[in-house]
Chain A
Amino acid sequence: MKDKIVLGLVILLSLITISPIILIIGELIMKGYRQISLDFLIQNTPDTYSAMTAIANGERIPGGIANGIIGSLIMVAMAAIIAIPLGVITGVYLYENPGKRMANFTRNISDILQGVPSIVLGLISYLWVVKHITNGYSALAGSASLAIMMLPMIVRSTEETLKMIPDSLKEAALALGTPYHKVIFRVLIPTGFSGMLTGILLGISRVLGETAPLMLTALGSSMINTNITKPTSAMPLLIWEFYNDPNMIDLIWSSSLMLMIMVLLLNIISKQIAGKRR
Chain B
Amino acid sequence: MKLEYFKMNSDRITRIVLSLVSFIIVIVAAGMVYSLIEGSIPAIKTFGWKFIFSNNWDPTSGRENYGALPFIAGTMITSILALLISLPLSFSTSLFLGEYFKGTRVARILNMLVDLLAGIPSIVYGLWGFYVLRPLMIDLGIGNQGFGVFTSSVILAIMIIPYATSLSNEIIAMVPNDLKEAAYSLGATRLEVIQTVTIPNAHSGIIAGYILSFGRALGETMAVTMLIGNSNKVPDSLFGTGNSMASVIANQFGEADGLKLSSLIAIGLLLFLITGIVNALGKLIIKRMTR
Contacts and interface: CB of A to CB of B under 8 A. Distances in A.
Interface of A: 2-3, 6-7, 9-14, 16-18, 20-24, 27-28, 85-86, 89-90, 92-94, 96, 102-103, 105-106, 108-120, 122-124, 126-128, 148, 151-152, 155, 179-181, 184, 205-206, 208-212, 215-216, 236, 239-240, 243, 252-253, 256, 259-260, 263-264, 267, 271
A87 to B, nearest CB: 8
A119 B246 contact: yes
A120 B268 contact: yes
B219 interface: yes
B123 A116 contact: no
B201 interface: no
Contact of A212 (B116, B122, B130, B215): B122
Given A89-B18, A179-B11, A119 B89 contact: no
Given A86-B24, A259-B121, 19 more contacts: A14-B96, A17-B114, A17-B165, A27-B132, A89-B21, A90-B25, A93-B22, A109-B25, A111-B279, A119-B221, A119-B249, A123-B268, A124-B35, A179-B7, A210-B122, A211-B122, A211-B222, A243-B126, A243-B130
B158 interface: yes
Contacts of B289: none
A116 B246 contact: no
B22 A267 contact: no
A217 B158 CA distance: 28
15 contacts: A21-B113, A27-B128, A90-B21, A111-B283, A112-B279, A113-B29, A115-B212, A117-B221, A117-B275, A120-B36, A126-B253, A152-B25, A211-B121, A215-B253, A267-B119
8 closest residue pairs by CB, A with B: A117-B219, A209-B121, A13-B92, A115-B279, A212-B221, A93-B22, A180-B11, A181-B14
Contacts of B26: 105-106, 109
B49 interface: no
B116 A264 contact: yes
Given A3-B189, A3-B190, A123-B249, A260 B120 contact: yes
Contact of B116 (A92, A114, A128, A267): A267
Contacts of A18: 93, 110, 113-114, 117
A72 to B, nearest CB: 11
A10 to B, nearest CB: 5
B10 A181 contact: yes
Contacts of B128: 20, 23-24, 27
Contact of A120 (B110, B190, B272): B272
B117 to A, nearest CB: 5
A112 B278 CA distance: 10
Nearest to B219: A117
B96 A10 contact: yes
B123 A240 contact: yes
Contacts of A206: 119
Contacts of B271: 117, 119-120
B100 A10 contact: yes
B142 interface: no
Contact of A96 (B13, B18, B95, B222): B18
A236 B123 contact: yes
Contacts of B17: 89
B29 A212 contact: no
B186 interface: no
Nearest to B218: A117
Nearest to B254: A215
B228 to A, nearest CB: 14
Nearest to A243: B127
A113 B28 contact: yes
Contact of B219 (A3, A28, A90, A120): A120
A157 B217 CA distance: 23
Given A13-B89, A92-B18, A120-B272, A256 B246 contact: no
Contacts of A184: 14
Nearest to B283: A111
A252 B191 CA distance: 46
Contacts of A17: 89-90, 92-93, 114, 117, 161, 165
